[in-house]
Amino acid sequence: MPSVQPRRIKTISAFHQLRGLPKPEHPLISVINFAPVEHPTDNDTTSIFFDFYSIVLKRNFYAKMKYGQEAYDFDKGVLAFMSPGQVFSIPSDAAYALSGWMILVHPDFLWNTPLAKIISRYEFFNYAVNEALHLSEKEEAILTNIVQNLEQEYHSNIDGFSQNVMIAQLELLLTYSDRFYNRQFITRKISSHQILEKLERFLHDYFGGDEITSKGLPSVQLIAEQLNVSQNYLGSLLKVLTGQSTQQHIHNKLIEKAKEKLSTTDLTVSEIAYTLGFEHSQSFSKIFKAKTTYSPSEFRQSFN
């Protein structure tokens, strides 16, 4: 396995800086036109991953980028989706003169909204999809119109309605994309990196079910057994593909569920800690603050 670790882009502002763009007008969401974007000029193929969602429409892109361990095919399709932590790379000899747009959305922008609960249900955000969505002219016009509305709101002065309006546009964009993907892939045979796909599905089901309350956080050993691989192999695989250990993946899912409960329920911090398998709420609060720099109460208060 390659020893070079993927490069992590933690913030949307960092991406703007990397690509020579002006500072984003909102720290948690950005709408980018590809025309002024600077592309890497080094000779190495660099793996990279974001801590935020990306939705990309690319024209004039002639390359098969790597997505996880699979080739992601842009030959016919133009629209692609990636979740936080998903690794991709573009060959150094790729030829492209891009046009199109990109939407970047940090998960924290979604908390305390219905979209935070359902975004993981859109299958095109996971490793199972390895080809871009092909759009007819009519379909592309529909999505571009939505993006233009989103961009207009993004460039407007922020007020108490800004987030709700932008969330509504994002939901509409994802709903149409779901329809178009279903049309394109209705008979396709999914090619995926099976271990990564199974890991995502296991953590999603475990944290969404009753086992988390009765048994606590899943152990690395349990996950390895469920995926039919050794703990060492799983850890090495994840480190190469995502730059994170199995334990970090577990904690990422924990924080995701904790933020969802803190922002969308009236449960106390102690009650949330219990539903997430913690016998003592102090242990839960300690992990939450270590991962987010906020205590659970401070995170919840940020929405009031």
Q: What pLDDT digit, counting tens, does each position of 80-122 carry?
A: 888 888 877 776 555 555 678 899 999 999 988 899 888 888 8
Q: Mind listing the pLDDT tens digit for each residue in 157-186? A: 878 888 999 999 999 999 999 888 777 654
Say if residue 166 is in the same domain as residue 36.
yes
Provide the pLDDT confidence category of residue 3 given band limits of 50, 70 and 90.
very low
DSSP β-ladder status, 64-67 and 88-89: antiparallel
Average model confidence (pLDDT) for the chain?
81
Beta bridge partners of 31: 103
Say if residue 79 is in the same domain as residue 163.
yes
Say if residue 33 is in the same domain as residue 149.
yes
Say if residue 175 is in the same domain as residue 34.
yes
Provide the pLDDT confidence category of residue 9 given band limits of 50, 70 and 90.
very high
Say if residue 284 is in the same domain as residue 226.
yes
Residue carrying structure tokens 């199995």:
246
Q: Mind listing the pLDDT tens digit for each residue in 185-198? A: 544 433 335 778 88
Cα separation values, 249 from 84, 102, 233, 256, Å: 11, 26, 15, 11
Say if residue 249 is in the same domain as residue 162.
no
Provide the pLDDT confidence category of residue 240 given band limits of 50, 70 and 90.
low
Q: Please report which helix (H) or strand (E) contains residue 55, including its range.
A: strand 53-62
Alpha-helical runs (H) found in the chain:
12-18, 107-110, 114-118, 137-154, 162-184, 194-208, 211-215, 220-227, 231-242, 246-264, 269-275, 281-292, 296-301
Is residue 117, in this structure, part of any structural domain at all? yes
Domain range enclosing 276: 194-301
- What's the pLDDT at 188? 44
Is it the case that residue 1 has pLDDT exceeding 60? Answer: no
Say if residue 200 is in the same domain as residue 178.
no
Residue carrying structure tokens 């709700």:
164
Q: Which two tokens stand for residue 252?
A: 């990422």
Say if residue 148 is in the same domain as residue 247.
no
For the entire predicted model, the pTM comes to 0.63
* Three-class DSSP category at 282: helix
- What's the pLDDT at 91? 65
